[in-house]
């Protein structure tokens, strides 16, 4: 079991704002003291440019940086040499689109996405489709807010070269049947790209067991800092893909006529890396590992169930996504005739931070028939009392508007 009240004490933001009810962990998680301290320590005691110097301090920086890669890869069940550091999940998906997509996709091909994708898993493919002429097919959702698997089985057939989908939706909270989808993709010879931005810090993930060809994640949503994330990809894919960006460290040799490439993963890591971010993220996953990812999932799932039960009792409140075991701690909701921005503003006046808008998921809102929504989302430090405060806050909104 996770003792969220104990865990909360590790997050200095709640010392600074003791009354803050933070319900926006889907946008970004708060950071524990251990992460902030590890980053400060690295900059104070180990600061040198990794992979570039042979003096002792530079060696120490390289060792710490590569250890961070190993730790984060292990956390997600991957070989460290298959982890490419990126700025965030968005950059990881763009990397796959540019490096793999640009060389493997053409006018006869189809890329399958879902309507529940974050814009970061739609727009890179749309940009590339304009250049390469391939078709994009979007899998729909069912009435309960799950991916329509019957449609997936119908659509994912020969001619589909790539399937890309969110492990967990940032709006519906639903965890997609990743293994089944990957199997469907592989049966037709397509590669499967999983957007793990909302899953990596909320449930146990083992990319090798899942069989994902590519898996994207963002450190800032995993109790880690901004500016670090990664792409995990099968080694043979990384070996076959051309570089994504050119610059220092990604080359083996450069002449005035051209260049040869470094080994993977460095082939995709041009320029000075975000070593501080990598150290911070490694500390964050160590923290999560100590909590136990099964416990994290159970805690956030239980909070989601509790929230749905409470919100369903309120007149005029609609929640989205299934009420079921495969539901994580993200609750999007609307209130009849009240703009989500008004909901968020009124909650903010009560010290409750929720997000309002389209949450970078406009096509999903369109599929749900709403322009926008309010969203409460949970983390390891979220308490039942936070949900009670939310419910009380929504009741006040209802009193004003109804
Ligand atoms: C499902 C999903 N994918 C991708 C992203 C993009 O993450 P980032 O902005 O950190 O790249 C988000 C961010 O909210 C998300 O929820």
Whether residue 170 has its Cβ less than 6 Å from ligand 1: yes
Structure confidence by residue, pLDDT tens digits, 137-171: 999 999 999 999 999 999 999 999 999 999 999 99
How remote is the CA of residue 395 from the centroid of ligand 1, in Å? 30
Which of ligand 1's atoms lies nearest the C-alpha of 88?
Answer: 11
pLDDT tens digits, residue range 206-221? 999 999 999 999 999 9
> Sign of torsion, CA 42 47 51 53?
negative
pLDDT over 90 at 317, yes or no: yes
Does residue 155 contact residue 113 with C-beta atoms inside 8 Å?
no
Residue 208 CA to ligand 1 center (angstroms) comes to 22
Compute the average pLDDT of residues 181-195.
Answer: 98
Q: What is the pLDDT of residue 239?
A: 97
Q: What is the pLDDT of residues 270-301, one digit of tens each?
A: 999 999 999 999 999 999 999 999 999 999 99
How far is residue 155's CA from residue 147's CA, in Å, rounded to a whole number?
13
93 lines ligand 1 (CB under 6 A): no
Mean model confidence pLDDT for the chain = 97
- Does the structure show a pLDDT above 90 at 37? yes
CA 80/CA 57 separation, integer angstroms: 23
List CB contacts of 309: < 8 A, sequence separation 6 or more: none
Per the annotation, the verdict on 360 as an active-site residue is: yes
Q: Which residues contact 58 (CB under 8 A, 6 or more apart)?
A: 48, 49, 50, 52
- Separation of CA 255 from chain center: 39
402 has a pLDDT exceeding 90: no
C-alpha torsion sign, points 287, 289, 291, 296? positive
pLDDT value of position 301: 98
Q: What pLDDT is attached to residue 71?
A: 98
Under the phi-then-psi rule, with left for phi > 0, alpha for psi from -120 to 50, and beta for the rest, what region is 211? left
Structure tokens at 350: 């009560």
Q: Is the CB of 359 under 6 A from ligand 1?
A: no
Compute the average pLDDT of residues 58-65. 97
Query: Cβ(114) to ligand 1 under 6 A?
Result: no
Choosing from 13, 34, 102, 360, the catalytic residue is: 360
Q: Ligand 1: distance of its center to the CA of 283 in Å?
A: 21
Check residue 258 and give its pLDDT. Answer: 97
Are 314 and 394 in contact by the 8 Å Cβ rule? The answer is: yes
Query: What ligand 1 atom has the least distance to the C-alpha of 359?
Result: 14
Please give the distance, rounded to the nearest whole angstrom, from the Cα atom of residue 24 to the centre of ligand 1: 13
Q: Give the chain's domains with CATH numbers.
A: 4-30+292-401 (3.90.1150.10), 36-289 (3.40.640.10)
């Amino acid at each position: 079991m996770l003792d969220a009240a104990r865990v909360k004490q590790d997050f200095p933001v709640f010392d600074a704002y003791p009354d803050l009810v933070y319900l926006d962990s889907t946008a970004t998680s708060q950071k524990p003291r251990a992460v902030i301290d590890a980053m400060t320590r690295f900059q104070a005691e180990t600061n040198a440019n990794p992979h570039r110097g042979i003096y002792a301090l530079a060696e120490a920086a390289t060792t710490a940086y590569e250890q961070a890669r190993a730790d984060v890869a292990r956390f997600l069940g991957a070989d460290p040499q298959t982890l490419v550091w990126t700025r965030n999940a968005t950059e990881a998906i763009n990397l796959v689109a540019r490096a793999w997509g640009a060389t493997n996709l053409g006018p006869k091909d189809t890329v399958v996405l879902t309507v529940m994708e974050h814009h970061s898993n739609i727009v890179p493919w749309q940009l590339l489709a304009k250049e390469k002429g391939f078709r994009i097919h979007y899998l729909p959702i069912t009435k309960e807010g799950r991916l329509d698997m019957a449609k997936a089985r119908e659509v994912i057939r020969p001619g589909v070269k790539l399937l890309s989908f969110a492990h967990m939706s940032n709006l519906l909270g639903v965890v997609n049947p990743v293994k089944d989808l990957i199997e469907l993709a592989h049966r037709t010879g397509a590669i499967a790209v999983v957007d793990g931005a909302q899953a990596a810090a909320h449930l146990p993930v083992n990319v090798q067991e899942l069989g994902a060809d590519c898996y994207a994640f963002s450190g800032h949503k995993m109790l880690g800092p901004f500016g670090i994330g990664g792409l995990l990809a099968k080694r043979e894919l990384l070996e076959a893909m051309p570089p994504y960006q050119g610059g220092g460290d990604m080359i083996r040799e450069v002449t005035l006529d051209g260049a040869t490439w470094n080994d993977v993963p460095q082939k995709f890591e041009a320029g000075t890396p975000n070593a501080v971010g990598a150290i911070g993220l490694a500390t964050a996953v160590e923290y999560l590992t100590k909590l136990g990812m099964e416990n994290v999932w159970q805690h956030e799932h239980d909070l989601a169930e509790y929230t749905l039960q409470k919100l369903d009792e309120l007149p005029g409140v609609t929640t989205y996504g299934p009420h079921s075991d495969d539901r994580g701690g993200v609750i999007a909701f609307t209130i009849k005739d009240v703009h989500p921005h008004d909901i968020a503003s009124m909650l903010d006046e009560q010290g409750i931070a929720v997000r309002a808008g389209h949450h970078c998921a406009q096509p999903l809102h369109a599929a749900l028939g709403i322009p926008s929504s309010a969203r409460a989302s949970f983390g390891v430090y979220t308490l039942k009392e936070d949900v009670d405060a939310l419910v009380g806050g929504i009741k006040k909104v209802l009193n004003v508007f109804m």
